[in-house]
Amino acid sequence: MAKLRSLSTWFLAALVSSCAALNAELVLSNARIAPDGYPIDAIVVNGQTPGPVLSAQKGERFQVNVTDMLVDESMNISTTVHWHGIMQHGSSQMDGTAMVTQCPIASEDSFMYDFTPANQTGSYWYHSHFSLQYCEGVRGALVIYDPEDPYQSLYDFDNASTIITLVDWYHVNAYDVGFTDNPSSTLINGAGRYPGGPPVPLSVVQVTPGVRYRIRLMSMACKTTYVFTIDSHVFTVIEADSEYTTPLEVDSIQILAGQRYSFILVANQPVDNYWIHAMPNYDTTFTGGLHSAILRYDGALPLDPIYRNSTSKAPLLEQNLHALVDPAAPGVAELGAADVSLNLESVWDDNLRFLINGYTYTSPSTPILQQILSGNLDVSDLQPYGSVYTLPANKTIELSIPGGQPEGPHPFHLHGHSFSVVRSSGTEVYNYVNPVRRDTTGNGESGDNVTIRFRTDNPGPWIFHCHIDFHLEQGMAVVFAEDTSDIASGLNITSSWKQLCPTYNASAPSQQSVEQHRRRHIKRRIGH
């Protein structure tokens, strides 16, 4: 752990090192910002939100030092960073999930995340995994490039300029967001407009006629489901959540919180400006540039586009996506024929807490990984009671996740694994032959029974949770303690990791603020 230098010194180091993704500095601090023209207190990463893009080549090691310079208790002053989609094989202690794989980083301290995603490529992102903090601005894109990309011949450009991020932005503290409150604006690549607000410059994606682009679309939303379109253009989807898919041509993409897609965009329309739209599930109005950015062809004037009314004729449906590599789902290709089958039934209680199979997830006082390293290997010994499931090694797991809960569909994300979606929402068909493989899927509406499969080949405690951050805060999660007897032998536990909990536990005001904020949030959500 390092004691702090001055803010300006840290920012200088961060700006230099963030250019090299393998040895990066991420400095978290509070700032007053106005990405849509409305000033509000937030959290920035290296002075910006979203934070800087981190990128690497396949097989490269990540050493990312996160420094906590937070001082605003209303957004919590401790933090973690989770690397969304990185499976952390042999490095579960670097997963960045508060009170599952680590204690939070205390204010005026730092922690080095050190991991090597040896066999992973694709589109990822990073964000705080502590309370509601990523809604306040702690998030950014992460890309691992594949020198053997099977679709490399189909596009000409794939770099930071072809990343498109979607964020739902609020004009209140995240803890003050009520049950019926919608976001104030949609930010696309960090910029947006709100109803009645100033016409702030929108983000522009610049293209050259005739050139082909690999667009990496990432939803960093806290709650909102979007339908993404670009006027007069179609997309060829080639990736879902960092997993290659067989090519699928669509003209709109529904994307849930935490999901990512890569698609090939061909700049084959007349030179002009075209609207990029991210229609949220609470509004269909784009007037004045709401929920929008601009696709601008070289040679077009720097103007807002004209409106081109169109209806989607080929929307993306998850069941139409198929894994490109090793497409079959693991295990016997029959419903219920997995080694372990679990039904995860979610309901709300009278206090608007989510319960899964009768239990609401609450963070334990000791990280679950630390409990396991201390010798607690059985489910009866692990806290929080009722929310931890032990899974045996090298088995096929089948999870059924019925839909229909309020504020759905709920995007469920699994740490430590990607999974085969053998039954998607909106269909009753089970596909064990070539389902899409990904790490975040929606559980649909009433009557849906989304079903996924994965193999327990990665020892560790892995949280499975709704990626609507407010719902995670309300307990919509379980933890799979996988192959507990082998976890300790596969990890390199450093002294800095061991020091996280003593330092955090000594910062009593920060801990107290979390509980105060949680109680305030629950009261706000139920309108009391």
Half-sphere exposure of 371 (CA within 13 A, CB side): 24
Q: Which of 134, 187, 164, 160 is nearest to 54 (CA)?
A: 160
Q: Which residue has the tokens 């999870």?
A: 399
Q: Residue 350: which residues within 8 A CB-CB, separation 6 or more? A: none
Cβ neighbour number for residue 145 with a 10 Å cutoff? 14
Q: Measure the CA–CA gap between 105 and 436, rounded to whole angstroms.
A: 36
pLDDT values of the chain reduced to their tens digit, one per residue, 528 residues: 333 333 333 333 343 334 434 799 999 999 999 999 999 999 999 999 999 999 999 999 999 999 999 999 999 999 999 999 999 999 999 999 999 999 999 999 999 999 999 899 999 999 999 999 999 999 999 999 999 999 999 999 999 999 999 999 999 999 999 888 999 999 999 999 999 999 999 999 999 999 999 999 999 999 999 999 999 999 999 999 999 999 999 999 999 999 999 999 999 999 999 999 999 999 999 999 999 999 999 999 999 999 998 899 999 999 999 999 999 999 999 999 999 999 999 998 888 899 999 999 999 999 999 999 999 888 899 999 999 999 999 999 999 999 999 899 999 999 999 999 999 999 999 999 999 999 999 999 999 999 999 999 999 999 999 999 999 999 999 999 999 999 999 999 999 999 999 999 998 554 445 555 555 555 555 554
Q: Under DSSP, is residue 299 helix (H, G, I), strand (E, B) or coil?
A: coil
Residue 522 has a pLDDT of: 54
Cβ neighbour number for residue 458 with a 10 Å cutoff? 20
Residue 179 has a pLDDT of: 83
As a whole number of Å, the CA-based R_g of the chain is 22
Q: Residue 339: which residues within 8 A CB-CB, separation 6 or more? A: 331, 392, 395, 396, 397
In contact, 19 and 36? CB cutoff 8 Å: no
Q: Measure the CA–CA gap between 211 and 205, rounded to whole angstroms.
A: 13
In contact, 240 and 254? CB cutoff 8 Å: no
Q: Which residue has the tokens 């960090």?
A: 190
Report residue 105: phi and psi, to 5°. Answer: -80, 125
